[in-house]
A and B are shown apart, each in its own frame.
Chain A
Amino acid sequence: RKEVEQDPGPFNVPEGATVAFNCTYSNSASQSFFWYRQDCRKEPKLLMSVYSSGNEDGRFTAQLNRASQYISLLIRDSKLSDSATYLCVVPNQAGTALIFGKGTTLSVSS
């Protein structure tokens, strides 16, 4: 299994839709996980941190399944402004750095 693996998409959804992204990871000892959002030609910005089973922030919900070693990000009531690339990020085996997934591209249309 690769250290971090994401479905690259693109996911094309209409406004108001619910969309979910999955991410699998190989380091079973990981205790923390992150979702970053990156707009075109901009820096990655932290969207959510996940330290236990999950986290919710408004329309965004992240869930962690340690047994299956995957993390999901659910976006409800999609907005045009949600269009971006979503990066799944987990610690490396040594716990010394973060490993970025290749990203999932979301395009929300009106």
Chain B
Amino acid sequence: DTEVTQTPKHLVMGMTNKKSLKCEQHMGHRAMYWYKQKAKKPPELMFVYSYEKLSINESVPSRFSPECPNSSLLNLHLHALQPEDSALYLCASSHPPGSGYEQYFGPGTRLTVT
């Protein structure tokens, strides 16, 4: 059973819609991550939050807007997306920020942009 939860599991949205993806972790971690994964490709890092502050933005288009309301929650706000943004969006968390610690993933949100 994963201790990182994500909602919704599936999302279909039009290019003019605004929607949000939600992630919650119950592991006491202080780093949280958003990844995008296309079929048959590895996860691509989008954002890293460290102690609730944005520490890495991998040149992600502004139509993706992350938010970290507290140490357990991470949101990804979506607006004016393109069909090529259709993918599996994964949230992950880890102990103190840095790559020396294992990351644990949520089940993901499968997003389709029409």
Residues of A within 8 A of B56 (CB): 96-97
Specify which of A41, A91, A98, A102 lies most central, judged by the most chain B CB atoms within 10 Å of its CB: A98
CA distance A33 to B82 in the complex (A): 35
B20 to chain A, nearest CB (A): 19
Residues of B within 8 A of A34 (CB): 102
Specify which of A43, A44, A49, A103 lies most central, judged by the most chain B CB atoms within 10 Å of its CB: A43
Contact of A100 with B42 at beta-carbon distance under 8 Å, contacts A49-B102, A91-B99, A95-B100 already known: yes
B113 to chain A, nearest CB (A): 18
User: Which chain B residues (81-114) contact chain A, with CB distance < 8 Å?
Assistant: 88, 90, 97-108, 110
Question: Taking the complex as formed, is B68 at the interface, i.e. its CB lies under 8 A from any CB of chain A?
Answer: no
Interface residues on B, range: 20 to 34
Question: Taking the complex as formed, is B65 at the interface, i.e. its CB lies under 8 A from any CB of chain A?
Answer: no
Asked if B100 contacts A91 (CB within 8 A), the reply is yes
Asked if A101 contacts B45 (CB within 8 A), the reply is no
A residues contacting the other copy or chain, number (CB 8 A): 22
Residues of A within 8 A of B103 (CB): 46, 98
Residues of B within 8 A of A (CB): 2, 33, 41-43, 45, 48, 55-56, 88, 90, 97-108, 110
Residues of A within 8 A of B (CB): 31-32, 34, 41-46, 49, 87, 90-92, 95-98, 100-103
Q: With contacts A43-B2, A46-B103 known, what are 20 further pairs, Cβ within 8 A?
A: A32-B101, A41-B88, A42-B108, A44-B43, A46-B102, A90-B99, A91-B100, A92-B99, A95-B98, A95-B99, A96-B48, A96-B55, A96-B56, A96-B97, A96-B98, A96-B99, A98-B103, A100-B42, A100-B43, A103-B42
23 A–B contacts, CB within 8 A, in A order: A34-B102, A41-B88, A41-B110, A43-B2, A43-B105, A45-B105, A87-B42, A90-B99, A91-B99, A95-B98, A95-B100, A96-B48, A96-B56, A96-B97, A97-B45, A97-B48, A98-B45, A98-B103, A100-B43, A101-B42, A102-B41, A102-B42, A103-B42
